[in-house]
Chains A and B, each alone.
Chain A
Amino acid sequence: MLFIPNFQHPTSKFQHLHFFMNYIILVFESTHRVLKAEKILLDKKVKFDIITTPKDISSDCGMAIRINPLVSNQNEIETLLTESGIVYMLYKKEMQ
């Protein structure tokens, strides 16, 4: 299973520490995976947003899941997805 904890985007934009909070962005390898992940999280009443994958992460027309760490528990979400065998990449994005 491909699981990279706290994977940081290689470009510097995501690397330096910010004073502001970051969103957690989960990127999946297919739209079907996104739908599966969405269903798992919705069943557990987890709060998150479906977003367009930010351009700095990927130029594909992809969907991603955005988590606000002030609202939802990142560890709980990661556990739920990992237990279901869902592969994803984790990025951080500055809240705007």
Chain B
Amino acid sequence: MKTVDAKGKLCPLPLILTKKALGEIAEIETLEILLDNETSVKNVTRFLEDHKMAFKLTQKGKEFNLLVSKTGVIPESTNVEEYCEVELPQKSNYMIAFQRDVLGDGVKELGILLIKAFVNTLPEVDIKPTSLVFLNSGIVLTLIDSPVIDSLKKLEKIGVEILVCGTCLDYYQKKTELGVGKISNMYDILDRLSRSGNVVYP
């Protein structure tokens, strides 16, 4: 049995070592991963789950032991760093309501460019919004072929809630093309808007 000792190592190292080791072992083999903090366990198990790897987790004192069976495949292109949990460093008290597929008023071409940059920059801001809601033509940003789909998925993964107007998806006949977030209704959307300290309308 192959063992990866990732004790004392910070993200993304445990993930990199895990991915590498899983690439090296045969399908019938078991991989043992040693970890010493809960964040690493959370990140590594999320990574394993997403790639359909069966595992058993045991804890002995401060040490965690993961026994992994190679039941899935990890594509070479997988970016393990996406599994590094980023704890929200400061309490966020704002949300963003996307009501259009552009940012601001003006020439549409520029508005589209700006909204892409806006969403793609969001994962890099220190204080993330609590929720994103998408209404009317704003819903196109959440569809499978959206140019900002990767950034939205990244935000959802670190805990930003994404609500998409169901009526709007229905009206534009895009329900089957939703690529991220939850289909939602006016009750939930108004609930979030009314609870939020600040709402940003791009």
User: Which A residues are closer than 8 A to B by beta carbons?
Assistant: 20-21, 31, 34-35, 38, 49-52, 63, 66, 68, 70-71, 95-96
Contact B117 A70 (CB under 8 A): no
Q: A34-B113, A35-B109, A38-B113 are in contact. Are A52 and B121 (CB under 8 A)?
A: yes
A94 to chain B, nearest CB (A): 10
* Cα distance A66–B148 in the bound complex, in angstroms: 12
User: For chains A and B in complex, what number of residue pairs have CB atoms within 8 angstroms?
Assistant: 40
Q: Are A50 and B77 in contact (CB under 8 A)?
A: no
Offer 16 A-B interface pairs, CB within 8 angstroms, sorted by A.
Answer: A31-B110, A31-B113, A35-B109, A35-B110, A35-B113, A38-B113, A49-B116, A49-B150, A50-B113, A50-B120, A51-B121, A52-B121, A66-B120, A70-B79, A71-B77, A95-B79
> Given the complex of chains A and B, what is the CA–CA distance between A17 and B150 in angstroms?
26
A96 and B124 within 8 A (CB): yes
The 9 nearest A-B residue pairs measured at CB? A50-B116, A52-B121, A51-B120, A52-B117, A49-B120, A70-B77, A50-B117, A63-B117, A51-B117
Interface size on B, residues (CB 8 A): 18
Q: Tell yes or no: B151 within 8 A of A by CB.
A: yes
- With A20-B81, A96-B124 as known contacts, state yes or no: A49 contacts B147, CB within 8 Å: yes
Q: How far is the CA of A73 from the CA of B51 in the complex (A)?
A: 25
- A54 → chain B closest CB, angstroms: 9
| Shortest Cβ distance from residue B59 to the other chain A in the assembled complex, whole angstroms | 30
Is chain A's interface secondary structure helix, strand, loop, or mixed overall?
A: mixed
| Shortest Cβ distance from B151 into A: residue | A49
Segment 65-114 of B: residues with Cβ below 8 Å from A: 77, 79, 81, 109-110, 113-114
Given contacts A35-B109, A50-B117, 9 further A-B pairs with CB under 8 A are A31-B110, A31-B113, A50-B116, A51-B120, A51-B121, A52-B121, A70-B77, A95-B81, A96-B81
Bound CA–CA A63/B118 (angstroms): 10
Interface residues of B in 121-163 (CB under 8 A from A): 121, 124, 147-148, 150-151
Which B residues lie within 8 Å of A68 (CB)? 79
Shortest beta-carbon distance, A49 to chain B, in Å? Answer: 5
Question: What CA separation (Å) do A34 and B118 show in the bound complex?
Answer: 15
Which A residues lie within 8 Å of B120 (CB)?
49-52, 66
Chain A residues positioned under 8 Å from B12 (CB to CB)? 20
Cα distance A38–B120 in the bound complex, in angstroms: 15
Write the nearest CB–CB distance from A92 to chain B, whole angstroms.
Answer: 16
